[in-house]
Structure 1
Amino acid sequence: MRAMTGEVMPQALEILQRVWGYNEFRGVQAQIVQTVAGGRHALVLMPTGGGKSLCYQLPSLLRPGVGIVVSPLIALMKDQVDTLRQLGVRAAFLNSTLTPSAARAVEQAVLAGRLDLLYVAPERLLLPRTLDLLHQAQIALFAIDEAHCVSQWGHDFRPEYQQLSVLEEHFPEVPRLALTATADDRTRADIRRVLGLTNAPEFISSFDRPNIQYRITNKDKPKDQLLEFIQTEHLGDAGVVYCLSRRSVEETASWLQEQGLPVVAYHAGLAPEERNRAQERFLNEEGVIVVATVAFGMGIDKPNVRFVAHLDLPKSLEGYYQETGRAGRDGLASTAWMVYGLADVVNVRRMLADSDAPEDVKRIESGKLDALLTYCETASCRRQVLLGYFGEAYAGPCGNCDVCLNPPSVRDMRREAQMALSAAIRTGNRFGAAYLADILLGKENDKNKRHRSLPTYGIGKEHDPKVWRSVLRQLVSLGYLTAGPYHGLTVTPQAKAILRGETPLLLREDTLLPRQAKRTREKAQATRVAIGAHDKPLFLALRAWRAERAGQLKVTPYVIFSDATLKAIAELRPGSLHTLGTVSGIGERRLAEYGAEVLRLVRTGVHEEQARPRGTVQAHELGLAPEVSWGAVGTPVHSLTPLVGAEQRSAGGPSGTVAAPSSRVTEVPRPAEVVDASGARDVPVERSSLAHSAGVGVAAQPSGVTEMSKSPQAMNDSDPAMVREVPEEPVVMSGAVQAAEPDAAVAVALGEARRALARETGYAAYLIFPNATLTALAARRPRTMAELVGLPGLGPKRIEAYGERILDAIANALEREPHALGGAEHAVQEPLPSETAELLHVATLLEQVAKDLRSGQAQLSSGTLVTIWREVFPEGTGANFDGSQVQEKDGVTTLVLRVKRET
């Protein structure tokens, strides 16, 4: 395999801008890309959200062959592949979610060189079948993500990762790139040894996440504290709450749900279906909070998580950094919040002492725990302590942690420490913190009668109980007390110096500080607002549009655009595609796909649509009706029943919704599937209460009634090398296209060709090309591939995939009607087939119903429907109104019209 030349960087920058929409690399990304693109190995340590994925995705596009990415979690693979396909990159994955036929299709795409990137789990990679496949293919590179899983000293050890040494054995000449967010010296050594990276250069980015505010508070009533934190600072934001046990997860999630928050629970004890549902909801919906054990999170690629909260101590500072790093991946202000108490310290020390691990492992883990507790108890800048643990100096204070914002008082509390240690010794080193606090305070109870005569009984009455809990907690954290037998606290040998008074002991007085004033909290929040009041309405409109788009495409919202990109759009308010293209994160593909829609939103400032139920599309997108206004079809209906009461004119209620069940739906023309024995036909439609004025949707039946029955994921699995296309907004055509009249015969031929392509590819008809494109083709009637360039909705991918079929359909239609060659002005328009014409009329009727319901000008009634019917279907059309049925469920109104056609 050839190595890249020194000219790689200009090409890399061009791809970076064109595909990802970024004008420059961040940090050490450029050096990594140049190293790997040149055929060399590398070890990369980069924080979560620092841009690790770009370090292997871009070199995979620069080098010949397919980049193989070893990834530990299926959820991460799907997210990455969805995002890459949106960018126009040919990507796929091999894992257990694929059917055998879909897996074979991926393998064939690898062999045919039709993929740029392939994601595989380590277990799948190690199979002889997969290794044999890779030997037959051209490999650009191997990227081992979450490489710390290689080491048993890492915080997410996975035995399968240790077997990845086969990569060096089988593919010694292919560059290997190991990437991780956290790894100490021992873990890095293991990564180098297992993956054969002995002499590979090491690239370390700064571990600093300046947008994250680190805060730790004393645990009192943790659930109440968490609720106040969310409600006062992050209401409506997505977040992750970590708990130590499954029981704690379920109790906390249930309690937060009772408080009215959108919360899901996630832990390894749940059924896979429940975990998947929880994860899908968290990823796809805005503002959902997940309460989880550490089983959740690794590989979750959701960039707009605004907070990560810990109700229990994590296992190590590495684990804490990894978990808190899931907040604010988009670079916007986020919070890492934790409550921490004496019981946490005692429990983790006891768990370590009671474990069956070898003594050398216990020593290492004990050191990691000490580092974590030092971080929790520090009276200096938390960011300095955190980065210092990873060997990075920080010239603090940072000004964005609780210690910097509200410095604690620190004083020499050697005397209080001596009292507490003496109480532990005199009671036999076998009682817990609560008992010792009672002895020091002189509290009488049934349990401590035998110890009331001790010199230490009542010696600490001058202090509040919170002071003694704080002193005992810090003594455990600092190692002067440890968890002993009988769940008690035992004095350690290192406490002798304190007992003798040989050394001062500075402890925090944080528990004595008053609660942060409301004005101080509000001031801190004001400095953390992500977007100004002026721009927020547009930001929210863009976010609503993004959610709808994501629902249509069955991808997570941030695959469309990140919050940071939406924020930049809202602040810039671009007026042209050129200006929009300058926004960071908008590459060539995204600009082409979404540019017109975004500019429309920027102009109006309002997103008028509401997310439709999954599996539905607009009627015009399925080819059931052209996307035209009511005025272009016929005279508006004025004889609708007026609504009474202003409250009924709201577009948001169920009465403003026309929907349909997902059955008895078909693409045109397949009349046999929808006509019953009596000759009557049901024509259902579906739309949301805030749809387009032509807002009629059609629900897809998943059992083979229409080509829309496949999910986008299934479509992509059937042909993984194909990049999914999405429909564009209708565009205003100019020049000859606008002047020419669409040829009916060509339009029908193109419709048939589109449906045939949909059946062959498994894609929905409207994903092949939208109606705006069909109309433009029928008007211009191109005869060569060159003439397809520039038509709305026909980019290079679509022309390459469907161009020949489009030209064949047009040529066949024109050969049947040679008079059409002279141009639209001489074309003889033949009537549409009766089936198509009838459905066009029905779609027009339903579009008007939806429009008038939404505007509040009408309500559903049989009289209303009959009136509209008679205006849309004049006498002699052969279609008669045969009744209707209306059902309400979950805020959605389903309307079924029965059409009787005369034969």
Structure 2
Amino acid sequence: MDEEWRDWPVDDEPPVDDWAEHEDLGSWEDATPVGTPAPVDAPDLTGAGPAEVLRRIFGYDSFRGEQQEIIETVVGGGDALVLMPTGGGKSLCYQIPALVRPGTGVVISPLIALMQNQVDALRALGVRADFLNSTLTLDQRRLVEQEFVAGRLDMLYLAPEALGTASVQQLLDRGKISLFAIDEAHCVSQWGHDFRPDYLQLSMLHERWPDVPRIALTATATTATHAEIATRLKLDDAKHFVASFDRPNIQYRIVPKDGAQTQLLAFLQAEHAGDSGIVYCLSRASVEKTAEFLSGKGVSALPYHAGLPADVRARNQSRFLREEGLVMVATIAFGMGIDKPDVRFVAHLDLPKSVEGYYQETGRAGRDGLPSTAWLAYGLQDVVQQRRMIEQSEGDLAHKRSLSAHLDAMLALCETVECRRVQLLNYFGEEAKPCGNCDTCLTPPEQWDGTVPAQKLLSTIMRLQRERNRKYGAGRSIDILLGRETDETRRGRHHELSTWGIGADLSEAQWRSVVRQLLAQGLLAVEGDYNVLALTDGSREVLNRRRTVMMRTEPKRKAKPARSSGATPKAAVDLGPADAALFEKLRAWRGAEAKEQGMPAYIVFNDATLRAIAARKPTSLTELATVSGVGEAKLARYGEAVLAVLGAE
């Protein structure tokens, strides 16, 4: 291959200072060399149908949701556009048709990490999979090309940048393609979470290879983004499948920010001690400070952001994927290509820019279906900073309005007194009933009429501007309302204002909540480099008594009991003591096996499969083969070792 391309591991245009183009994201130390056959003989699937492939390769007895209909559509040569939540089984929707149809399935994937991850997992199942990206040497590329042309690959992963080169297009013309799968298809949407311009060229797939079916998949799409994906990829005539966006195993919780690092530590110690998880921060500096803080408190934490040296990023990501119990503190440059199923929590120390981003990031928790937590600390400064960033962003008025609409939806989710899950699913056009598994359901907040406090605050801001010809941030207005004597209030003679001290009935924390909620409702604005407060048209409606302002009161939450450091992981909560001990022995065996092979532990077996083995205690390979998640290749490779662990009991 004589042309180079770049794989851009783009998740989103990050806030503040965090973006860099880097090609090495996800390169693993000691990873299985590309261009080599799978470690075991690939099963003969000649004449096998989807259900047989599901059982023999993946070890599952039945499809979930709309998987079967999606797979049958693509196997039959039809195009499909699939919206399905993270952890819903999207990959099977193109992996099984690629194994059933003659030829090689070509998967367009946005990240090197995602390619490497899926190729390793497929090889462990005996599937002949490989990738072409910028991490390969020339000899490695040639070997992969030869395998493809000779028909010895079941699946080939490419980046959209690669597909845009003439040499790759000519290569694909020389082989037989069973299907095109466009993963993370929301990257095509300019207004979605991950705009990726190179995805726009993928509309040419049907023109150049008209007889090859296409399937586009995403876990994040509003109705507008869904329509844009269909239009840009020319999939309007495809069959559309929209699964429920609900992730019932994830508990959504949003707390008022009050010393975010300390709050995070308390959350981890009380509920997720020893668990794997991701903590998202707004900036590189915050990432490093938070990782250092957690490490100093005994939490195994690693930093990840685009400003770190490439080898450090790769090493930290490799450790997170392979080891259990690590916490990755990262900017949004980390995550899209992470298939680690046992991430028990995703925490945000800063407000996400959109519900799409929040949903996708929190969706990295609990991919195995076990209980997990999405935790967000949110405060006044988050609102101020996000409003200011939009005002200072490049782009025309329509772009800024789109950003504002995304932020308004995120703020509505934070400030709702209703079920968070209902609000979240409604955003994606899905109706739902209160879930009973989010903070507002478990500890319902109250609403109160905040019209008078709002008028007091807005009047103070108005008088500062009229009588002092000055605008200030939230702190000065709150000092005036509380009648607080400071050097600044004395110098400005603020005690002469008629609103001096009229807000003593509320605490400073309550006033900051009032400011935050007025900003969230658009009844207050932020201006300039110093984040000064300014009135809006809505402010005047409140001051003129033409608008009532309802506000949320944060309920007092009971602390959950702490888990001891030796507590049984959540994966084993439904096992008896003896079975839980056996589960731990199986996990220890899996860890040693994964380390020896240089791959993440979950690629050997995930927790759900080990839990089922511990509960059923099979005594033969035939019995072990009936456990969900044990396919032919894994049975051949690991079966005797698993039975040996069970027999040692």
Question: Partner residue of 1:414?
Answer: 451
The runs of 5 or more residues in structure 1 that have no matched partner are 1-7, 606-903
Which amino acid is the alignment partner of residue 595 of structure 1?
Answer: G
What SS is found at the alignment partner of 2:487? coil
Correspondence for 1:561 among 605, 611, 614: 605
Amino acid aligned to 1:553 = Q
1:483 aligns to what? Answer: 526
Q: Which residue of 1 aligns with 2:20?
A: none
Q: By how many angstroms is 1:189 displaced?
A: 2.9
Q: 1:23 to 1:219 in 2, by over 3 A?
A: same
Question: 2:249–2:369: 8 Å Cα contact kept in structure 1?
Answer: yes
Select the residue among 102, 124, 128 that pairs with 2:162. Answer: 124
Worse-superposed segment, 343-352 or 186-195: 186-195
Please state how far the C-alpha of 1:502 moved relative to its aligned partner.
3.0
Residue 517 of structure 1: how far off its partner (Å): 4.6
Aligned counterpart, 1:140: 178
8 Å CA contact retained: 1:304, 1:329: yes
SS in 2 for 1:421: helix
Q: Aligned-pair distance for 1:576?
A: 2.7
Instruction: Check if 1:423 corresponds to 2:466.
Output: no
* Distance apart, 1:269 and its partner CA: 1.0
Q: How does 1:547-586 map to 2 (within 5 A)?
A: 547-586=591-630
Cα separation, 1, equivalents of 2:310 and 2:620: 46
- CA distance in 1: counterparts of 2:232 and 2:330, whole angstroms: 31
Once the two structures are TM-superposed, the CA of residue 51 in structure 1 deviates from its matched residue by: 0.7
Post-superposition Cα deviations, 1:617-647, rounded to whole Å, max 9, x if no partner, equal xxxxxxxxxxxxxxxxxxxxxxxxxxxxxxx
Q: How does 1:673-688 map to 2 (within 5 A)?
A: none
**1:415–1:530 Cα change, 3 Å:** farther
Q: Report SS of the residue matched to 1:299.
A: coil
User: Which of 1, 26, 29 matches 2:67?
Assistant: 29
Partner of residue 187 from structure 1, selected from 225, 245, 249? 225
1:278 to 306, 316, 339: 316
SS in 2 for 1:380: coil
Q: Which residue of 1 aligns with 2:33?
A: none
Q: Which has the larger displacement, 530-539 or 128-137?
A: 530-539
> Residues 416 and 16 from structure 1, CA distance in 2 versus in 1: closer, same or farther, beyond 3 angstroms?
same
Decide which moves more: 568-577 or 69-78.
568-577
Partner of 2:90: 52
**Which whole-Å deviations, capped at 9, do the CAs of 1:288-347 have from their partners, x for residues lacking one?**
111000000012111110000000011100000000000000111110001000000010
Are residues 1:85 and 2:129 paired?
no
- Asked whether the 8 Å contact 1:212–1:336 carries over to 2, the reply is yes
Query: Which letter maps to 1:432?
Result: G
Note if contact 2:370-2:571 (Cα within 8 Å) is conserved in structure 1: no
1:365 aligns with 2:403: yes
The structural deviation recorded for 1:483 is: 0.8
Does the CA contact (< 8 Å) of 1:77 and 1:119 recur in 2? yes
The answer (yes or no) to whether the contact 1:9–1:34 under 8 Å persists in 2 is no
| Letter of the 1:505 counterpart | V
Indicate the residue corresponding to 2:303 in structure 1.
265
Runs of 4+ in 1 over 6 A off after TM superposition: 519-522, 525-529
Match of 1:538 in 2: 582
Instruction: Please give the root-mean-square deviation of Cα atoms over the aligned residues, in Å.
Output: 2.0
In the alignment, structure 1 residue 506 sits paired with structure 2 residue 547:
no
Distance in 1 (CA, whole Å) between partners of 2:64 and 2:549 is 44
Are 2:273 and 2:563, in contact at CA under 8 Å, matched by a contact in 1?
A: no
| Contact persistence 1:377–1:474 (CA under 8 A) | yes
| SS at structure 2 position matched to 1:427 | helix
Mean CA deviation greater in 47-56 or 582-591? 582-591
Q: Using the TM superposition, give the Cα deviation of residue 528 of structure 1 relative to its aligned residue in structure 2, in angstroms.
A: 6.7
Contact preservation (8 Å) 1:79, 1:559: no
CA contact (8 A) 1:151 1:157 kept: yes
Separation in structure 2 between the aligned mates of residue 165 and residue 93 of structure 1, nearest angstrom: 21
Deviation per CA, 1:45-69, whole angstroms, max 9, x where unpaired? 1111111110000000111100000
AA aligned opposite 2:447: V
* 1:443 maps to 2:484: yes
Q: For 2:189, which of 131, 151, 154 is the aligned residue?
A: 151
- Per-residue displacement from partner, 1:335-378 (whole Å, max 9, x unpaired)? 00010000000100110011121101111111111000000011
1:153 CA drift (Å): 1.3
Deviation at 1:526, TM superposition (A): 11
Q: Any conservation in 2 of the 1:333–1:530 contact (CA below 8 Å)?
A: no
Q: Distance in 2 between matches of 1:436 and 1:568?
A: 60
For 1:398, the equivalent position in structure 2 comes to: 435
Deviation readout 1:243-282 (Å, 9 max, x if unpaired): 0001111111111111122111111111111110110010
Say how many residue pairs are matched.
Answer: 593
The one of 302, 307, 311 equivalent to 2:340 is 302
Q: C-alpha separation between the residues in 2 aligned to 1:78 and 1:232?
A: 35
Report the alpha carbon displacement of residue 530 of structure 1 after superposing the two structures with TM.
4.7
Instruction: State the 1:421 CA deviation.
Output: 1.4
- Say if 1:289 and 1:358 are closer, same or farther in 2 by CA, change over 3 A: same
**1:187 shift after superposition:** 2.4
Match of residue 644 from structure 2:
600
CA displacement 1:669-720 (0-9 Å, x = unmatched): xxxxxxxxxxxxxxxxxxxxxxxxxxxxxxxxxxxxxxxxxxxxxxxxxxxx
1:149 corresponds to which letter in structure 2?
Answer: C
Rounded to whole Å, the distance in 2 between the matches of 1:362 and 1:464 is 35
* Cα-to-partner distance string for 1:499-538 (whole Å, 9 max, x where unaligned): 233343221111xx4342556999xx99977524513322
Compute the TM-score of the two structures, normalised by the length of structure 1: 0.64
Following TM superposition, by how much is the alpha carbon of 1:441 offset from its aligned partner in structure 2, in angstroms?
Answer: 0.8
Secondary structure of the structure 2 residue equivalent to 1:455: coil
- Which structure 2 segments of 5+ residues have no match? 1-45
CA contact under 8 A between 1:546 and 1:557: conserved in structure 2?
yes
Whether the 8 Å contact between 1:430 and 1:484 is mirrored in structure 2 is no
> Which entry has the higher C-alpha Rg, 1 or 2?
1
Deviation at 1:194, TM superposition (A): 2.7
1:132 deviates by 0.5
Report which structure shows greater RCO (CA 8 Å, sep ≥6).
2
Per-residue CA deviations over 1:735-778 (Å, capped at 9, x if unaligned) read xxxxxxxxxxxxxxxxxxxxxxxxxxxxxxxxxxxxxxxxxxxx
Q: 1:99 aligns with which of 132, 137, 140?
A: 137
Please say if residues 168 and 195 of structure 1, whose CA atoms lie closer than 8 Å, have aligned partners that are also in contact. no
In structure 2, what is the Cα distance between the partners aligned to 1:270 and 1:121?
Answer: 23
User: In the alignment, what sits opposite 2:511?
Assistant: 468
Quote how far apart the aligned CAs of 1:497 are. Answer: 2.7
SS where residue 328 of structure 2 aligns? strand
State the distance in 1 between where 2:441 and 2:198 align: 43
Whether 1:355 aligns to 2:355 is: no
AA aligned to 1:438 is D
- Could you say if the C-alpha distance between residues 19 and 222 of structure 1 is closer, same or farther in structure 2, counting changes exceeding 3 Å? same
Q: Name the aligned partner's letter for residue 519 of structure 2.
A: V
Give the % identical residues. Answer: 55
**Structure 2 length-normalised TM:** 0.88
Q: How big is each residue's C-alpha offset from its partner over 1:592-618, in whole Å with a ceiling of 9 and x where there is no partner?
A: 22122112222335xxxxxxxxxxxxx
What secondary structure sits across from 1:448 in the alignment? helix
SS of equivalent to 1:452: helix
Deviations 1:869-898 (A, max 9, x none): xxxxxxxxxxxxxxxxxxxxxxxxxxxxxx
Residues 36, 175 of structure 1: 8 Å contact kept: yes
Contact between 2:113 and 2:338, CA under 8 Å: does it hold in 1? yes
Aligned mates of 1:285, 1:461 — CA distance in 2: 52
Q: Is the 8 A contact 2:271 2:561 kept in 1?
A: no
Q: Secondary structure at the match of 2:488?
A: coil
Structure-2 separation of matches of 1:604 and 1:431 = 71
Q: Is the 8 A contact 2:621 2:640 kept in 1?
A: yes
**Matches of 1:60 and 1:389, distance apart in 2:** 33
Q: Are 1:380 and 2:418 an aligned pair?
A: yes
